[in-house]
């Protein structure tokens, strides 16, 4: 919020998301289902953009990374080998008085349910049990038989689907380390205390890439990926002052990790993990080799063998979208009117352009606007809006971050030009209606990789 003194709150973003149909609580007519959200039209479009921009930079534009889409329900032995059955747990305490459940390691955020007016962290009225380990994997049963042999899990990360396919994919893709396998898909964690809007949900869409390297090169590649991922956010317009890299201390490391750096974003709730970039070492391949009997190692042409180390950039689309929305949110006064504007990067913005007839009832304007819309939508996500005053239509597009609006007006009927309005500068210029498609193509194909001034 460059132009306002008031700090952005999560409520402001939640409210914009609901008002404009980016995101709303799931199953609302049935009272919801704890901290789960459904994505509306603009939310889906934004997520599609984030997913394809990630895929483009991680797979399409590299020749050392290939794609994979493994199943959500894998053979349950995968999760025994990976350590998740034994160790993917949070410490849980129950209060015998107020019956709430808390994470024992996050009691500073808890408060007693009997005395809800108390400050967070005050559970002094609670009668807490000893902490017990609660496994965060969702369980289910596969097949018609319901017993221990049919128990399976919803994946809590997509990474294991990659590790078990390491040998397979390396052969098929004719790749040798350093090379990576990238995957996008839903993951599920039965969080004790989900919350903070899109930040911590029980289901979320992960984008993970496991990069297999010779052990001696692991540290260097770890640094490489921290830099590469940081650059990706900056190129897509995230403000540098809201992004930082932070190395985990020894006590914070996951069971599989020998080093992790978080890219943290300054959300309205403070600095929090946006993306984790872990050096998983040879933990996973070694475990699966031991448990499956299949050697997940690399054999050089001279016969030398080694188990590759793995660098993993892992992030959820949900957290990226939340960061982009917070970062882009702005309120400003223009003339005598206030406007909310999402200054999203054009490649992230859900709608690329709006096509507006100045006076919808004017048949000449309506016909030309409609024809332009029908031409453009074959190539880009664009909107046609003929409802209400032009100022109101502009503000509606500002709120969803549409970078450009093409308006068909009186002059169009004379000289076949339209105005193009820039979301950020509010500058308007005229261009021939026949040139709009090429203008928009060019604007979107421009090399956005250079830092933007906003």
The reply to whether 48 sits near its own copies by the rule CB under 8 A is yes
Give the other-Cβ count within 10 Å of 454's Cβ: 12
Reference 342, options 43, 31, 29, 119; nearest CA is 43
Residue 81 CB, shortest distance to its own copies, in Å, is 8
Residue 389 CB, shortest distance to its own copies, in Å, is 15
Nearer to its own copies, 41 or 115 (CB): 41
DSSP annotation of 439: H
Strands 23-25, 337-342: pairing is unpaired
Residue 217 CB, shortest distance to its own copies, in Å, is 23
The reply to whether 84 sits near its own copies by the rule CB under 8 A is no
142, 299, 333, 438: residue in contact with its own copies (rule CB under 8 A): 142
Question: How far is C-alpha 70 from the chain's CA centre?
Answer: 19
Q: Give, in order, the Cα–Cα distances in Å from 417 to each of 359, 386, 406.
A: 16, 18, 10
Pattern 202-221, its own copies, x by CB under 8 A: xx------------------
**Looking at the DSSP assignment, which residues form a beta bridge with residue 102?**
93
**How far apart are the C-alpha atoms of 54 and 347, rounded to whole Å?**
11
97, 101, 239, 257: residue in contact with its own copies (rule CB under 8 A): 101
- List the interface residues with its own copies, window 310-339 (CB under 8 A): none
The reply to whether 228 sits near its own copies by the rule CB under 8 A is no
134, 271, 306, 448: residue in contact with its own copies (rule CB under 8 A): 134
Q: Rounded to 5 degrees, what angle do the CA atoms 135, 138, 143 make?
A: 130
Q: Which value, in Å, is the radius of gyration of the alpha carbons in the chain?
A: 25
- List the interface residues with its own copies, window 18-47 (CB under 8 A): 20-21, 24, 26-34, 36-41, 43-45, 47
**How far apart are the C-alpha atoms of 126 and 97, rounded to whole Å?**
6
Using CA of residue 212, residue 217, residue 223, residue 227, what is the dihedral sign? negative
173, 253, 366, 390: residue in contact with its own copies (rule CB under 8 A): 173
The reply to whether 395 sits near its own copies by the rule CB under 8 A is no
112, 152, 372, 418: residue in contact with its own copies (rule CB under 8 A): 152
Residue 109 CB, shortest distance to its own copies, in Å, is 16
* Number of residues in contact with its own copies under rule CB under 8 A: 82
The reply to whether 436 sits near its own copies by the rule CB under 8 A is no
3-state SS, residue 85 = helix
**How far apart are the C-alpha atoms of 404 and 421, rounded to whole Å?**
6
Nearer to its own copies, 3 or 61 (CB): 61
Question: Which of the stretches 143-151, 228-236, 243-251, 275-283 binds its own copies when contact is defined by CB under 8 A?
Answer: 143-151
Pattern 362-381, its own copies, x by CB under 8 A: -----------x---xxx-x
Answer for the pair 351, 402: CB distance below 8 angstroms, yes or no: yes
DSSP annotation of 280: E
**Looking at the DSSP assignment, which residues form a beta bridge with residue 194?**
none
The reply to whether 68 sits near its own copies by the rule CB under 8 A is yes
Residue 74 CB, shortest distance to its own copies, in Å, is 5
Element at 393 (helix H, strand E): helix 390-400
Q: Give, in order, the Cα–Cα distances in Å from 282 to each of 163, 165, 410.
A: 10, 15, 68
Nearer to its own copies, 263 or 296 (CB): 296
Answer for the pair 137, 85: CB distance below 8 angstroms, yes or no: yes
Nearer to its own copies, 117 or 450 (CB): 450
The reply to whether 168 sits near its own copies by the rule CB under 8 A is yes
10, 12, 55, 306: residue in contact with its own copies (rule CB under 8 A): 55
2, 96, 117, 144: residue in contact with its own copies (rule CB under 8 A): 144
Residue 50 tokens read as: 């984030």
């Amino acid at each position: 919020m460059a132009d306002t003194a008031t700090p952005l709150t999560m409520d402001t973003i939640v409210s914009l998301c609901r008002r404009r149909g980016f995101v709303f609580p799931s199953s609302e007519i049935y009272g919801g289902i704890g901290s789960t959200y459904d994505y509306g039209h603009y939310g889906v479009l934004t997520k599609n953009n984030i997913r394809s921009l990630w895929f483009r930079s991680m797979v399409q534009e590299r020749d050392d990374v290939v794609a994979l889409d493994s199943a959500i329900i894998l053979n349950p032995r995968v999760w025994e080998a990976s350590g998740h059955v034994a160790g993917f747990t949070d410490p849980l305490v129950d209060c015998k008085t107020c019956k709430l459940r808390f994470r024992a390691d996050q009691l500073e955020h808890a408060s007693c349910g009997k005395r809800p007016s108390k400050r967070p962290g005050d559970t002094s009225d609670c009668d807490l049990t000893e902490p017990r380990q609660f496994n965060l994997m969702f369980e289910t049963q596969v097949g018609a038989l319901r017993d221990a042999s049919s128990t399976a899990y919803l994946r809590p990360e997509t990474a294991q689907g990659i590790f078990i396919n390491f040998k397979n994919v390396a052969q098929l893709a004719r790749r040798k380390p350093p090379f990576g396998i990238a995957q996008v898909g839903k993951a599920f964690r039965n969080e004790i205390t989900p919350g903070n809007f899109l930040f911590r949900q029980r289901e979320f869409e992960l984008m993970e890439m496991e990069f297999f390297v010779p052990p001696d090169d692991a540290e260097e590649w770890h640094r490489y990926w921290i830099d590469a991922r940081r650059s990706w956010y900056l190129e897509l317009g995230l403000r540098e002052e809201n992004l930082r890299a932070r190395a985990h201390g020894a006590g914070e490391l996951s069971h599989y990790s020998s080093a992790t750096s978080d890219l943290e974003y300054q959300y309205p709730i403070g600095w929090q993990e946006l993306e984790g970039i872990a050096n998983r070492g040879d933990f996973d391949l070694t475990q699966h080799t031991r448990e499956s009997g299949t050697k997940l190692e690399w054999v050089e042409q001279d016969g030398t063998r080694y188990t590759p180390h793995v660098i993993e950039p892992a992030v959820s689309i949900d957290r990226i979208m939340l960061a982009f929305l917070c970062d882009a949110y702005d309120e400003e006064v223009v003339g005598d009117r206030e406007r909310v504007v999402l200054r999203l990067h054009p490649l992230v913005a859900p709608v690329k352009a709006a096509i507006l007839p100045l006076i919808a009832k004017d048949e000449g304007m309506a016909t030309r606007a409609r024809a332009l819309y029908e031409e453009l939508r074959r190539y880009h996500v664009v909107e046609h809006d003929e409802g209400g005053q032009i100022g109101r239509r502009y503000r509606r597009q500002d709120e969803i971050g549409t970078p450009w609006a093409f308006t068909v007006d009186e002059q169009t009927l004379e000289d076949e030009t339209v105005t193009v309005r820039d979301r950020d500068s509010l500058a308007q210029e005229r261009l021939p209606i026949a040139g709009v498609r090429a203008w928009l193509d060019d604007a979107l194909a421009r090399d956005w990789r250079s830092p933007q001034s906003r």
